[in-house]
Structure 1
Amino acid sequence: MVMPAYNEAEGLPGFLAEVSEHLSPLARRLSLVVVNDRSTDGTGEILRELVDDLPGLVPIDAEVNRGHGPTALAAYRAGLDLAPDLILHVDGDGQFHGADLARVVRAAVSTGADVVHGVRRGRHDPWFRRVLTAAVGTVVALAAGRRIPDVNTPLRSYRPERLAQLLGRIPADALVPHVHFSLAEARLGFRVRYVEVASIPRRGSNQTGTMWGVERPPKLPPKRLRRFATAAAGELWQVSLRPGAGR
C-alpha cells in the first residue's frame, strides 16, 4: 500500500493500524509506504515511532513540500521499487474504512483487473468540491468517450506494470495525477473495475485538514482551492485534454 500524508499526525496511527489489520490477511508480504510531505505537525516523528509496532511500515520524508499530487506520485514510485504484485493507493486523511480497502484488493485479485477504483458514496466534502469533481468528471467523460465513476478517487489498486505505463505518461509534479490516470486507463483499454465504498469524515479533530488554508468547513471555495483549480485545469488541458495530448 502507498500513501501520501501531510499533517495527519492525529489520525494516521489509528488509520494505519486499521489498514494493516484488514490487509495483512490478504498478502504474503504487506508494505505500508507513507510519504510525509514535510508535515509541520509531527507526522514524520509519529511515523518513525510506529515502525516498531507496524510490520512493513516504510516511512519516507519528502525533501521539500510539493503538494498532494507530486507526493502521491512519489509514493507510487517508492511502492514500485519494492517489486509488489499489487499496489493500493489511499490518502493519509483516512476517509475510508479499512474493510473497504480490503474489498478493493479482493476485487483486483478475483477479477484480474488492471485497475480497481473505490467509488465513494456519501462524501463529506463541501458542496463546491463535489461540484468541481462532477464538472471534471463530465469533461473527462467527453474525452474518454464514456463516463468514469468518481474520476479522482484516491482509493485505487494497480497492477505494477500498468501503473508504470501511467507514470510514464504524466509529469512527476502533476497536480491531479488520478484524473490523468482515469482518462489514460480508458484510452489504453485497461481492464477497470469499480467497487462502491463508503466515504467517511477525515480522521482527527480538524475537519478540513490544512491543505486549503482554512480550519473549518468553508461555505465558499477558499482562495487556495481556487488557485489550485485554475492551475489543475491548465495542466489537464496541456497533458491530457488538448488535441493530440495523451495519445
Structure 2
Amino acid sequence: MQAQDHVAVVIPAFNEAEALSAFLAEIRASFAAVGRSVTLIVVDDASTDDTSEAGSAFADVVRSPINRGHGPTALAAYGEGLRSGAGVIVHVDGDGQFYGDDIARVATALDRSRHDVVHGVRRGRTDPWFRRCLSALVRFAVLILCGRSVPDVNTPLRAYHPDILARLVDGVPADALVPHVHFSIAEARDRLRVGYVAVASIPRRGAVAQGTMWGAGRARAILPPRRLVRFAGRALAELWRIDIVGSRRISQPSTSVRG
C-alpha cells in the first residue's frame, strides 16, 4: 500500500475513557465506509482514568509520563502521525465533538484536491459566550495580521500533507499552548492553499467534563472560569512572541485556493 493511500488520525486525549472507545470505533467505521485505510493514534496526556485502556482496542496508544496540557499533546500527536508514514494526517481531539463521517470527509477533501491543508469549520457550536467572543477576537487578529479571514482559527479538525505539516510543527516550540492558532496564522501569512469543509459541532461525548477547561456543557455560564482567563493571557503573550515579534514564515508564498 502506498503512503498516499493511508490516513493517520492523531488524537490527543486527557481523561476521555468514558466515551473514547465508541468515538474511535465510529471513526474507523466511517473510513471503512469510504474505502480508506486508517491508523488511529491516541496520545494520552497522563490521564488519571482509563483513557489508555479505552483507546487500546481501536488505536495505537502513546502515554505521556507527565501531564503537558492540550497544546504540547497535540504537537506530540502530530509527531506520531509524521512518524507513521501516512500520506494524510488528520488531527481531532479525543472529546468526540465531531462525527466520524465528517472526519472522513475532511481527510477525503484533502486527498482529492490541490489544497495544502483542509480545516473542518464547525457549525452549530453551543459554547459559552466567552469562548465565542475569544474565538471572534482571535479571528479578527489573524485578519489584521495576515490579510486573510480564517473561518475557524482554532479548529481542532484538520488534515495535512506530511511535508506541509512538518514545516508547521517545526515553526512552533514543543510546549506551545495554542499550536492550531499558530498554524492558522502561518498558513494565512504564507498563502498556503487552504480548503474549508463545514462540519457539525456536537456536545462533548460522555457526562464527565473533567477533560476540559472551557466549561464544557455549560453554554449558559455567566463568567469564564479563572483557569481559562489565566490560559488566555498566557496564550496571547505566546502569540505576540511567536507570530508578531517573531513574524515567522514557513515557506515561500504560494497561490491561495479556497475550497
For the aligned pair, the TM-score class normalised by the smaller chain equals over 0.9
Instruction: Give 1:27 deviation, angstroms.
Output: 5.9
1:121-161 deviation digits (Å, cap 9, x = unpaired): 11121111111011111001111111111000000100000
Matched, 1:67 2:75: no
Provide the rounded CA distance (Å) in 2 between the counterparts of 1:203 and 1:139. Answer: 31
Q: How does 1:183-222 map to 2 (within 5 A)?
A: 183-206=185-208, 208-212=209-213, 217=218, 218-222=221-225
- SS of the aligned residue for 1:119 comes to strand
- SS of the aligned residue for 2:199 comes to strand
Matched, 1:224 2:227: yes
Provide the rounded CA distance (Å) in 2 between the counterparts of 1:73 and 1:144. Answer: 23
Q: 1:233 aligns with which of 229, 233, 236?
A: 236
> How many matched pairs?
239
With normalisation by structure 2, the TM-score equals 0.88
Provide the residue aligned with 1:38 in structure 2: 46
Provide the rounded CA distance (Å) in 2 between the counterparts of 1:144 and 1:101. Answer: 27
Instruction: Give 1:219 deviation, angstroms.
Output: 2.4
Identity among equivalent positions (%) equals 54
Instruction: Give 1:44 deviation, angstroms.
Output: 1.6
Q: Which segments of 5 or more consecutive residues in structure 2 lack a partner in the other structure?
A: 1-8, 250-259
Instruction: Give 1:167 deviation, angstroms.
Output: 0.7
Q: Which segments of 5 or more consecutive residues in structure 1 lack a partner in the other structure?
A: none
Query: Relative to structure 1, is the Cα distance of residues 43 and 142 closer, same or farther in structure 2, using a 3 angstrom cutoff?
Result: same
Moved more, 20-29 or 67-76: 20-29
Q: How does 1:136-215 map to 2 (within 5 A)?
A: 136-206=138-208, 208-212=209-213
Provide the residue aligned with 1:84 in structure 2: 86
- SS of the aligned residue for 1:31 comes to strand
With normalisation by structure 1, the TM-score equals 0.92
Provide the rounded CA distance (Å) in 2 between the counterparts of 1:96 and 1:159. Answer: 21
Query: Relative to structure 1, is the Cα distance of residues 144 and 106 closer, same or farther in structure 2, using a 3 angstrom cutoff?
Result: same
Matched, 1:47 2:50: no
Instruction: Give 1:95 deviation, angstroms.
Output: 0.3
Provide the residue aligned with 2:254 in structure 1: none
Provide the rounded CA distance (Å) in 2 between the counterparts of 1:111 and 1:41. Answer: 40
One-letter amino acid of the structure 1 residue matched with residue 44 of structure 2: N
- SS of the aligned residue for 1:146 comes to coil
1:212-247 deviation digits (Å, cap 9, x = unpaired): 2868623210011011000000000000123x5213
